[in-house]
């Protein structure tokens, strides 16, 4: 297996591991119809390449008291990106931060206990002199949750079943803590 695309066995292995997160290598080998050594070698290679990022449980923030999900775009003061990222790293409710193109410099995935708590988080972010402006969108529902299996099939040269979402996602925009209609 080269450092290039994944193959059909990799897809079967990854999708089976995702469907059965507590599965052992022996059972995985049995389900795939390959030798345990093959499974071990594939898992090791996929892990060393970074295809498999972790083996930890997926935690639902809602179930630990953070039912509000928001996406916060930030405009950063010129030359102060590192300072902004350092400040954001100190806020535990900020789950991810991505550098982006377009009007915003960073996009943050944020969770909160409620909208008042979200407003406090945004105020904390804006307290950094490196952050010029925020634009916040609260997710009201999740129409398509995070998924990877269709992409795995496509990456291996197969086709993935195309299924349109049942209805469009609905969001409300909040700019610096004020709800816009």
For residue 170, the model assigns a pLDDT of: 39
Comparing CA positions, the residue from 129, 127, 125, 130 lying closest to residue 79 is: 130
Side by side, the strands of the sheet bearing 178-179 are 94-99, 106-112, 68-76, 131-139, 171-175, 178-179
So what's the pLDDT on residue 179? 40
User: Stretch 64-83: mean pLDDT, rounded?
Assistant: 98
Q: What per-residue confidence (pLDDT) applies to 162?
A: 55
Could you report the per-residue pLDDT of 52-62, keeping only the tens digit for each?
999 988 899 99
Residue 117 confidence (pLDDT) above 70: yes
Q: How confident is the model at residue 79 (pLDDT cuts 50, 70, 90)?
A: very high
Average pLDDT of the residues in 66-73: 98
pLDDT band at 5 (very low <50, low <70, confident <90, very high): confident
State the angle between helix axes of 8-19 and 36-48 in degrees (0 to 180), rounded to the nearest 10: 90
d(CA 134, CA 75) in angstroms, rounded, equals 6
CA–CA separation, 73 and 100 (whole Å): 9
Question: 142-167 pLDDT, tens per residue?
Answer: 999 999 999 999 998 876 555 544 44
Closest listed residue to residue 134, CA positions, set 170, 110, 169: 110
* pLDDT category of residue 171 using cuts at 50, 70 and 90: very low
Section 31-57 average pLDDT: 94
The beta strands (E) that lie in the chain are given as: 68-76, 94-99, 106-112, 131-139, 171-175, 178-179
| pLDDT value of residue 159 | 66
Q: What is the pLDDT at residue 58?
A: 86
Q: What is the DSSP string of 44-75?
A: HHHHHTTSS---SPPP-GGGGT--EEEEEEEE
Residue 172 pLDDT grade (very low, low, confident, very high; cuts 50, 70, 90): very low
């Amino acid at each position: 297996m080269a450092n290039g695309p994944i193959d059909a066995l990799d897809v079967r292995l990854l999708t089976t591991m995702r469907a059965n997160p507590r599965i052992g290598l022996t059972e995985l080998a049995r389900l795939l119809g390959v030798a345990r050594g093959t499974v071990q070698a594939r898992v090791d290679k996929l892990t060393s390449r970074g295809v498999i990022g972790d083996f930890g449980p997926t935690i639902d923030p809602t179930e630990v008291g953070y039912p509000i999900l928001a996406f916060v775009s930030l405009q950063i003061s010129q030359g102060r990106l590192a300072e902004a990222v350092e400040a954001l790293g100190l806020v535990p409710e900020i789950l991810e931060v991505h550098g982006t193109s377009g009007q915003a410099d960073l996009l943050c995935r944020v969770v909160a206990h409620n909208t008042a708590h979200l407003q406090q988080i945004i105020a904390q972010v804006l307290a950094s002199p490196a952050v010029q402006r925020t634009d916040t969108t609260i997710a009201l529902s999740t129409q398509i949750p995070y998924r990877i299996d269709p992409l795995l099939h496509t990456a291996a040269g197969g086709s993935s079943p195309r299924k349109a979402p049942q209805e469009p996602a609905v969001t409300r925009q909040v700019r610096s803590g004020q709800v816009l209609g």
